[in-house]
Structure formats: C-alpha cells, structure tokens
Amino acid sequence: MDQLNLEIVSSRTYFAHDAHATLLLRRSRRVRETLSAYARSSKVVAGLLAIIGLLGVLVLAFDRILWQTAPVHANALIVFVIIDLAAGAFVLAKPSGMTFTLAGVWSALRIAIQIGDILLGPSFGLSYAQFASYLFNPAYVNPPNPTGIPGAPIDLIVILEIIVIWVTWRAGSSVRKA
C-alpha cells in the first residue's frame, strides 16, 4: 500500500513539474516572439525615421524661401533631422518599449509642430490658408523654389510619422500581450 501511495505522489509531482515546464516553455516562446517582433519593428521604425530625416535634408537643400525668410526655422529643421536620425539609430540599437515610446512621442510631437507652423503664417505676411498651402500643398509653386518644395516632402514626412506612431503602438501592444 505504501508503495502504491508513493507512486501516486510521485506521479502527481511529475505531472506538476511537467505542467510547470510547459508553462515556462510557453513563456519562453512568447518572450522570443516578442523579441523577434521588437527586432522587426525596430528595423521598420529606424528606416522610417531615416527616410524622414532625409526628407528634411531635401527641404533644407531646396527650400530657398525657408533660408531667406526664416533661417531660425531652417536651423530648427536641422535639429529635427539630427533628432530623427538619432532616434532611428537608438531604436535600431536598443529596441525596447521605452525606445518605441520615445519614437512614437517624437513623431506625434513633430506632427503637432508642423501643423502648428500654420499659425505663423501672418508673421510672414501670409494668411493661414496661404501658409498652409506653402507648407503642405505638393503642387504649389513657390518661386524661387522648385515645384512641390516644401509641400511634397513635408506631406511625406507627416505620413511617415503617422506610420511610425502606428508601428510603435503595435510594438508596444505586442509587449503588453506577452
């Protein structure tokens, strides 16, 4: 009888150990999947931020009006480009919930700043609508600027920033599920 009880206890212990090992394996698999999702997302976010930075360089290179009428804004755009590239490198080097949050918040802040720029139109002698058209209309002709400068690159920047926010949000939600 003692032998039978010992086997039953031993069997239960083995079963409990097996269930615990299965749980640990599941958690380990989820952690690996999360890290893999982080790695993929970090490459996407870093690439998007690099493209955003390059589009900023394009505006700096071709927007003569920016340099002539608002050199302080041109210098701010230089800082934005540096932050974009640094944020992309940071997300790529250290993908984590914190870096994704920083990239998403930075992109949201940039969108707000770019839309807020419209409020500066009267300080340049333009109506809000005229300044918004200068900033965001890709077909607008702004001599001496080439057609579409700065509108087309800025539109692409805003679209890519929205995608960065979406990807960082998805990366964060995959962590919360794990």
Q: How many helices (H) and strands (E) does the chain have?
A: 6, 0
Residues contacting 77, CB < 8 A, separation 6+: 56, 59, 60, 66
From first to last of its 178 residues, the chain has per-residue pLDDT tens of 555 444 544 545 555 556 665 655 566 666 666 667 788 999 999 999 999 999 999 999 999 999 999 999 999 999 999 999 999 999 999 998 899 999 999 999 999 999 999 999 999 999 999 999 999 999 999 999 999 999 999 999 999 999 999 999 988 776 555 5
pTM above 0.85, yes or no: no
Own/partner pairs, 64-70, CB within 8 angstroms, 24+ separation:
64/144, 64/145, 65/134, 65/142, 65/144, 65/145, 66/150, 69/124, 70/124
Structural domain span for residue 56: 2-177
Q: How many structural domains does the chain have?
A: 1
